[in-house]
Amino acid sequence: MLLTTYLAAALSIQRAAALVISDPNIWDNRIPDASHIWRQTQSKSKDATDRSDQTPDGRIELKPTVSAIKPSTRKLTGKFLQITDIHPDPYYKTYANTDEESACHRGKGVSGYYGAETSDCDTPLSLVNATFAWLKENLRDEVDFIIWTGDSARHDNDEDMPRSRKQVISQNEFVVSKFLEAFGKPENWHDDDPTNDFLIPVIPTLGNNDILPHNVMTAGPNSWTTSYLKTWRQFIPEEQRHQFQRGGWFSSEVIPNQLAVFSLNTLYFFTSNAATDGCAAKSEPGFEQFEWLRAQLNIVRARGMKAILMGHVPPARVESKVSWDETCWQKYTLWTHQFRDVIVAGLYGHMNIDHFLLQDWNDVKKHIRNGKAKINEQTVIGLADDDSDPSLVPNYFPTVRVYSYNISG
């Protein structure tokens, strides 16, 4: 299954907003109350368009449900969506100051209705609403699954408005509710089976701003893996729930018997995570995650399937930027080389700009190569490619991406 970037479908959300501006409900900054979707005790006659304002402390009160999405039986389109770094900000104000201290929360300035491009401000809810309305209108029946690569809470960039745990979780729940609006199956929201609420699989991953304090995550199980197990339980397969609670990583078979997506917890590889120490020691969660990944990729290979690796922080390793601990990068490059017949793509977020990364096999140290896994030196391929996609948060220009992939063999 050969994966190619469908560059022509990289979508400018400014264009998307123009396509849906005729619907005034889309621009409502109030946050939709999706709790009725999950509560089985709600009346079946309850209106699915009910809305609820944010709380004074910036929380978004939603009550998610248990569910692991069932594989879609729809005809494959050969396309999938990646969306990353949404960063919804309920405090964002239009015509506010865009400087670092104000963060578009106060003062007078040039912040726009759909965001303050080229600034460090986060995403106004109007842009989030417009984006998902556009996705519903244009991609609901056009993609086979969704890669959601993290950072779905606002940055902790305003000393006058520090984030709270409830805010971080509720903003992620808000994004889940937007996915339900765009890709949900309303006819199933009130039945007795909470596992069939989506048309297609959605695969999330943890971003460095989806926890508090940002960047720092201790070994699991911890309070964050437990919280996101609840928030994302519609997306995490039942058989993967224990693994996710233990470490925040899991896999999802998005196309049965053909393609699996591995959601990696890159926070355990991240150089900015002071709570962990790389991937060399068996006591480290990064070590355990790579052992899990190797075992799972062996299973995928034995079944004749392909795999996509995804995460939030990309494996950047250049003079100007090193994102992963060196021991983690070494194992990742080794694994991607050893399983080059299985892995068809690596998709990440975090950087907010559109670029790709090359992992040089020649930089893998000899003692890493001579570990438990055997290398066929006669078939060495020098480079592996990973994509880090542009973000929705308008630090540059808000973007989502549609990929095409080969479904013919």
Structural tokens at position 296: 């799972």
Distance CA 347, CA 170 (A): 25
Domain ranges of the chain: 79-404
pTM confidence score: 0.79
232: part of which helix (H) or strand (E)?
none
Q: What is the mean pLDDT of residues 167-184?
A: 96
| Alpha-carbon distances, residue 98 vs 112, 119, 129, 171, 403 (angstroms) | 10, 6, 21, 22, 33
Contacts 24+ apart (CB under 8 A), 369-373: 369/334, 371/334, 373/294, 373/334, 373/338
Predicted confidence (pLDDT) per residue in 272-310, tens digit: 999 999 999 999 999 999 999 999 999 999 999 999 999
* Residue entry with tokens 């930027």: 321
> What's the pLDDT score for residue 13?
30
Structural tokens at position 231: 């928030």
pLDDT at 382 over 80: no
Distance CA 196, CA 72 (A): 9
CATH assignment of 79-404, given 3.90.660, 1.10.3470, 3.60.21, 1.20.1440?
3.60.21
Residue percentage of the chain with pLDDT more than 70: 72
**Going by DSSP bridges, is the β-strand pair 202-204/383-388 parallel, antiparallel, or unpaired?**
unpaired
Predicted confidence (pLDDT) per residue in 206-264, tens digit: 999 999 999 999 999 999 999 999 999 889 998 999 999 999 999 999 999 999 999 99
Residue 324 backbone phi and psi in degrees, to 5: -110, 150
Which residue(s) pair with 259 in the sheet? 255, 306
